[in-house]
Amino acid sequence: MNRIGILTAGGDTPALNATIYGAVIRANQLRVEVFGFIKGFNGLLNPEAPHVHLNPLLIPIPELDPARGGTILGASRDYVGSDDREIVLQAVSRLKRLQIDGLICVGGDGTLNGMMNLADHIPVVLAPKTIDNDLGLNYPDEVNEWVRSDENDPKSCRKEPGRPFRLEEMINYVTPGYASAVYVTSRSVQRIRTTAESHRRIAIIEVMGRDSGMIALGTAYGQPDLIMVPEVPIDPEILAEKVIRLIEIQKHALMVVSEGVRDASGRFLGDVTAGTDPAGNLIYRGAAETVKNMLVDQLSDHYFIGKRRHESAEAAIFVRKVGHDQRGGRPIRFDRLQAALLGAKAVELLLERRYSEIATLSYRDGGLEVESVESHKLRDRYGVIHYRPMAPSFYDAERMQPSAQGVEYLRTIFTNSVSHGDIEAILPMFSTGNLVQPYHSVNVDVHKRIRRLKP
Ligand SMILES: Nc1ncnc2c1ncn2[C@@H]1O[C@H](COP(=O)(O)OP(=O)(O)OP(=O)(O)O)[C@@H](O)[C@H]1O
Ligand SMILES: O=P(O)(O)OC[C@H]1O[C@](O)(CO)[C@@H](O)[C@@H]1O
């Protein structure tokens, strides 16, 4: 292969540029040109296929900084469906006109589904990313646990309960972007803690993750009192009992709630009626607000007035959504390092003709190693690739905290995950230059490098 393409699809993460950087450095060593496509699959759907040559003369362009969050290529959730055969063929013909011999897609389970629609026409591989950490399998046979009550209706699919497993069995142990997101949510918990503590309030902090509780689980590093995950339904009465117990002891409480949580009937507590994004994902919002309302119903105003703390339950409880802070900013050391290694691996997979594989991290001898897996191993019996739920064995539902296996899982990722460089990166915040110079967007510089196909 002489020239390969790369694109970043789905929600951004702090580690995307590090993945692109790792891919470009490895491509330079192997004397392969790399073209980056703009805005994920959108770049291929555009007749001009806007692209940037990322390594002219086999040197990375200066805008490509592995410590810069986001993606210099841009990302989108634009859809390339398998039934749009004509559109797929047009996208492939644009790649061929640019003499692209293979394509690296950087993304999560959605991107993998999109990528596989191109796989019959051009060599493709996936470099993983997603803050949700929901790409892969907890163990190889987990894929068989997705079953449909009606064979012909994909919406009737549900996951059967899993089995115990060893961490060595995990396929794609962790995905770049997750560690930086957890760093942000944990820090957020620590900062909100002292204000809840001072004002004797109950704080509910909502974190991302869609249907996976992985981000919420990792947020245990910020020492929240209780963690709620989508994989374990919330019982309002038990929750209220736990909160009262906390208030009796420490006069305040702090909870983390994952945006995809459900109640015992399986009802989503985030407002999913709001619509879908262009990739077809339901938009989740309002889980923390719903949990707050649950607690307001359970804990009477009386209780707070009696304690001479607040005039109502409504006033005592506050909600904060961490939001897109989790997706943005500088990646921490773990993400920079692993993302770059996985980007490099993706290039190797293409050159070794291991098409349609995914570069992965596996747990081996107490550490992480770069490996790969064939993407069809992630397909269920109906051919669908699902998100990976947080393994229930990582969570102690009674304590609403990570279990012993959850602690072991997180320890492997987060021990030494932050470097001195990450800490020093805070120092320039109050540089006077920031007050007098406007922000200079990397998009301005990359835009000058964009080339387009002639119609
Ligand atoms: N079944 C599918 N077929 C074709 N394209 C898909 C499919 N699912 C998702 N895509 C496309 O893949 C891209 C990424 O999907 P999505 O937005 O779900 O993010 P993701 O890769 O799962 O990552 P993240 O969860 O971190 O945002 C989008 O451009 C989307 O349109
Ligand atoms: O940026 P958007 O489109 O609001 O998407 C938010 C979603 O994307 C993710 O950050 C990544 O999939 C989810 O955790 C979250 O639900």
pLDDT at residue number 80: 77
- Exposure string of 311-322, with b = 16+ CB inside 10 Å and e = fewer, is eebeebbbbbbb
Residue 113 clears pLDDT 70, i.e. is over it: yes
CA atoms of 250 and 232, how far apart (whole Å): 26
Given a contact cutoff of 8 angstroms between Cβ atoms, the answer to whether 19 and 127 are in contact is yes
Task: Decide: 41 in ligand 1 pocket, CB within 6 A.
Answer: yes
Q: Summarize the confidence of residues 408-412 as an average pLDDT.
A: 98
Task: Decide: 325 in ligand 2 pocket, CB within 6 A.
Answer: no
pLDDT at residue number 303: 82
3-state class (DSSP) for residue 138: coil
> Which is the catalytic residue, given 12, 132, 225, 422?
132
Task: Decide: 109 in ligand 2 pocket, CB within 6 A.
Answer: no
8 CA from centroid of ligand 2 (Å) = 15
User: Residue 78: nearest ligand to its CA?
Assistant: 1
Task: Decide: 132 in ligand 2 pocket, CB within 6 A.
Answer: yes
Rounded alpha-carbon distances, angstroms, from residue 350 to 51, 105, 122, 383:
20, 12, 11, 23
Nearest CA to ligand 2 atom 12: 11
Residue 32 clears pLDDT 80, i.e. is over it: yes
Ligand 1 probe mutation, 19, 44, 77, 133, most atoms within 8 A of CB: 77
ipTM for the whole complex: 0.96
- CATH fold of 3-141+331-385 reads Rossmann fold (3.40.50)
More confident residue, 150 or 274: 150
User: Residue 105: nearest ligand to its CA?
Assistant: 1
Share of the chain above pLDDT 70, in %: 99
Residue 304 clears pLDDT 90, i.e. is over it: no
Given a contact cutoff of 8 angstroms between Cβ atoms, the answer to whether 255 and 283 are in contact is no
Q: How confident is the model at residue 143 (pLDDT cuts 50, 70, 90)?
A: very high
pLDDT at residue number 156: 93
Rounded alpha-carbon distances, angstroms, from residue 257 to 8, 232, 281:
28, 11, 20
Task: Decide: 293 in ligand 1 pocket, CB within 6 A.
Answer: no
Do the domains 3-141+331-385 and 189-326 sit in the same CATH topology, yes or no?
yes
User: Residue 275: nearest ligand to its CA?
Assistant: 2
Residue 166 clears pLDDT 90, i.e. is over it: yes
391 CA from centroid of ligand 2 (Å) = 21
- The per-residue pLDDT for range 358-391, each reduced to its tens digit, is 999 999 999 999 999 999 999 999 999 999 999 9
Question: CB burial class (10 A; 0-12, 13-18, 19+) of residue 380?
Answer: middle
Rounded alpha-carbon distances, angstroms, from residue 438 to 238, 441, 449:
51, 9, 22
Nearest CA to ligand 1 atom 8: 110
Query: Where exactly are the structural domains of the chain?
Result: 3-141+331-385, 189-326
113 CA from centroid of ligand 1 (Å) = 7
Q: Which helix (H) or strand (E) holds 33?
A: strand 33-37
Ligand 1 probe mutation, 42, 113, 215, most atoms within 8 A of CB: 113
Q: Which helix (H) or strand (E) holds 196?
A: helix 178-198
Residue 144 clears pLDDT 80, i.e. is over it: yes
Q: What is the mean pLDDT of the chain?
A: 95
Residue 404 clears pLDDT 90, i.e. is over it: yes
10 CA from centroid of ligand 1 (Å) = 5
Region of 137 on the Ramachandran plot (φ > 0 left; ψ -120 to 50 alpha; else beta): beta
The whole-model pTM stands at: 0.96
- The per-residue pLDDT for range 276-298, each reduced to its tens digit, is 888 778 888 899 999 999 999 99
Q: Summarize the confidence of residues 33-61 as an average pLDDT.
A: 97
211 CA from centroid of ligand 2 (Å) = 11
Task: Decide: 77 in ligand 1 pocket, CB within 6 A.
Answer: yes
| Closest atom, ligand 2, to C-alpha of 284 | 16
pLDDT at residue number 266: 86
User: Residue 76: nearest ligand to its CA?
Assistant: 1
For residue 285, the 8-state DSSP code is -
- The per-residue pLDDT for range 70-99, each reduced to its tens digit, is 999 999 998 777 778 899 999 999 999 999
Total length of the chain: 455
* Cβ neighbours of 438 (radius 10 Å): 6
pLDDT at residue number 403: 98
CA atoms of 226 and 115, how far apart (whole Å): 38
Nearest CA to ligand 2 atom 8: 11
The beta strands (E) that lie in 78-132 are given as 102-107, 124-128
Q: Summarize the confidence of residues 411-427 as an average pLDDT.
A: 96
Task: Decide: 79 in ligand 1 pocket, CB within 6 A.
Answer: yes
| Closest atom, ligand 1, to C-alpha of 281 | 18
The beta strands (E) that lie in 272-365 are given as 317-321, 357-364
Q: Summarize the confidence of residues 327-348 as an average pLDDT.
A: 98
10 CA from centroid of ligand 2 (Å) = 8
Q: How confident is the model at residue 272 (pLDDT cuts 50, 70, 90)?
A: low
Quick check: is 297 catalytic?
no
* Cβ neighbours of 310 (radius 10 Å): 18
pLDDT at residue number 308: 76
Nearest CA to ligand 2 atom 2: 11
Q: How confident is the model at residue 448 (pLDDT cuts 50, 70, 90)?
A: very high
Residue 60 clears pLDDT 70, i.e. is over it: yes
Domain 189-326 has CATH 3.40.50.460: yes
Q: How confident is the model at residue 273 (pLDDT cuts 50, 70, 90)?
A: low
Given a contact cutoff of 8 angstroms between Cβ atoms, the answer to whether 88 and 82 are in contact is yes
Task: Decide: 46 in ligand 1 pocket, CB within 6 A.
Answer: no
Nearest CA to ligand 2 atom 11: 11
- The per-residue pLDDT for range 177-236, each reduced to its tens digit, is 999 999 999 999 999 999 999 999 999 999 999 999 999 999 999 999 999 999 999 999
